[in-house]
Amino acid sequence: MNKLKKSVLLLLIVSIPLAMTHAKKDSWWQKAKNKLKEWSQTVKKDVQKVEEKVKDDLDKAGQALRDAAQKVEKKFNLDFIKDDTVKNIIKLILALDPKKGLQIIKRITAQKANDPYYDKHGTVSHNPGPTTLEKQFLQARDPNTFEALSKLLNTNKNKLLKDPVRVGISFSGGGYRSISWGMGALLGLDELGILDATTCMAGVSGGAWLLTSWIKHGTDTKQFGQLLNANLSNRLFENLKLVKVLELALAYLLDGKKMGPVDLFGIGLAGPLLDHDYTLRLVDFQQQMLTGKRPLPIFNAGGAVDPTNISFAASPLNTRINVFNPAQKTYSSTTIPPWATGNKWSGGVSQTGLSTTLATISAICGSAFTVSVLETIERYERFLIKILGKKLFNKLYTKLDSTNVGKFRVLPFPLPNPNYEIAGQVFSNKLNFPLTDEGVKCNLGGNRSVSAMLGSAIGSIKPRKIIFVIDASGGHSATVASSLKKEDEQQRKMVEAGIPGFTQLYPDIDYSTIKDKELHIFQNDDSMIVLLPFLNQSQYGSSNTFKTDYKGKQADMLRMVYKSFGVIKENKKEILSSMTKFIRRERSTPAQKAAAKQLANKVRPPRKYDAKKPLQIEQLEKVLQQLPKHQPIQPGKHQMIA
């Protein structure tokens, strides 16, 4: 409790002055200050006692560790190791775990000796289309998904071969809340048979956490759901031993890389998500993916400079950094092998075969773990109410809620820049390429990764797309509509810029209809969106973006899982019938599309990105009925109906 008081005290010292700038004249602040002053005197004495005890304990522990290290030096001759840092870490491992320490070191060095990528050099590519490995995956996966679709929807397989349709799933951000909502959807889609027909899945932030755990465990969804729920009952960093951190640090050092704060956060995530497997890499799943037996997982992050228009997408087959300038409508795509992610680069060539671990990938994609002052306060809510009283607590929370300070949450990851010193490339003068949680600005950024993969051509044919959007990013209809609309507009901008893989538009979506309905389906000739928004989140208890401790909250998380699972199950008939209609739907010819577009432009001006509401058919019919038959419809004449 003393440590808790210290943490809360530091929090209040930082947050109260910020809030006071907005409420200097409020008398309740004076009451809060007086109570805080009285309480701080007591806490200060307690903190001094704790500090003295901790210092004494640390001194004893440090001396014990130094004694153990001296014994290690006498027992093992480590003079052949030239790097002092590596030598000291090995000493610490042997000192902390005398029985298994030597086995740990042997295992790490053996992994490096047998790593096929250890001495391999990766080069940069700027081809925006699918890589060779991605093409191999699609060639292996397509026959499986087409077979599953034809059986699921009772459709002739030859129809799918002539006019192919691919299915993808996009999971939004939202921390543990997103994991729970996404897990339920995954269970539901698997039960319907749709997962077998799925080509790829992409995740942002918490959605990426779900996929990292899914790719690691490789079990069926029911077993995975049970396992994940059990693992998430533990705190981050629970049961973590220092020797494990040193083990990973040694592996990093042997690869020429140093650990940073995001790597350390990845170690925390690796506990509940990866069963404490700290050294597992994304590239370790490459051969498994090339068999085409499972959907390809794609993990999305954003550039810290501009998370909306700079994106990072990593899979076991490829790592891609896309940069889009909407003003100039220019685009660049940088591709590097997945085993080269995290390397040092010289003129676009990697200096080692280092690959960033799956734990670090999880941390990069969900790097908004500093979360916010607000969520930290929520964690200590009962304790603060006891000290300040409920009225003062609520006022403090309200004041912070109105500031950006209370909501700040970002920690960039300095990815070595593969474009460093390559003339003509974006950020070529930057040694590092800062990445952050894409959910900070674009919680459905995975939609673009899914769309690009599904749109990869089969010969000369562009497949049609069905994308399931599992959105836990907003608790009410306006937020859900805003997230999807942002992605819709981004997609249209990229189509207009002629970006390869972005040749098909989203269906027209009436965002005003995204209210109380739990499932929405939109489609046109080329694409179909199935939206599963998590509405009314406040009814589900622990729905915060992220907490380090969800112990005792499994009931809340399971309710989220069962809710999204139930929505999929209850709407089975509508989902499958809509998919059947979409697959059997004949595509419009280019001439028909041009004629339809021309007619639409005559009735109203071309759609703008900031259009408040798409045109309703009923409105259009009423306007047309009111027009004299001989009067031609002029472009821009009837803007009031848009």
Instruction: List, for residues 501-519, the tens digit of each pLDDT value.
Output: 666 667 888 777 777 788 9
Coil, helix or strand for 161? helix
Of the candidates 379, 377, 383, the one whose C-alpha atom is nearest the C-alpha of residue 398 is 377
- Domain boundary assignment for the chain: 2-114, 132-368+410-584, 601-641
pLDDT at 96: 73
d(CA 117, CA 604): 57
pLDDT at 354: 72
CB 547 within 8 A of CB 375: yes
H/E element, 349: strand 349-350
pLDDT at 297: 96
Q: Specify the residue for token string 């460093």.
A: 420
d(CA 516, CA 597): 32
User: 346: which 2 tokens?
Assistant: 């010289």
Chain Cα centroid distance, residue 246: 27
Contacts of 8 (CB under 8 A, 6+ apart): 380, 383, 384, 387
**310-314 and 319-325 beta bridge pairing:** antiparallel
Which stretches in the chain have pLDDT values below 70? 1-33, 35-83, 234-238, 353, 368-384, 386-388, 396-397, 399-410, 474-480, 500-505, 538, 541-554, 587-642
CB 442 within 8 A of CB 302: yes
pLDDT at 14: 47
pLDDT at 569: 93
**296-303 and 432-436 beta bridge pairing:** antiparallel
CB 464 within 8 A of CB 210: no
pLDDT at 80: 58
Among the four given CATH numbers 1.20.120.1200, 3.40.50.1100, 3.10.350.10, 3.40.1090.10, the one describing domain 132-368+410-584: 3.40.1090.10
Q: In DSSP terms, which residues pair with 432 in a beta bridge?
A: 416
What one-character-per-residue DSSP string does 615-632 give?
Answer: PPHHHHHHHHHHS-TTSP
Coil, helix or strand for 312? strand
d(CA 93, CA 101): 5
Strands (E), 84-159: none
d(CA 426, CA 363): 25
pLDDT at 599: 53
Phi, psi of 455 (to 5 degrees): -80, 0
Could you give the angle at which helices 27-75 and 84-96 cross, rounded to 10 degrees?
90
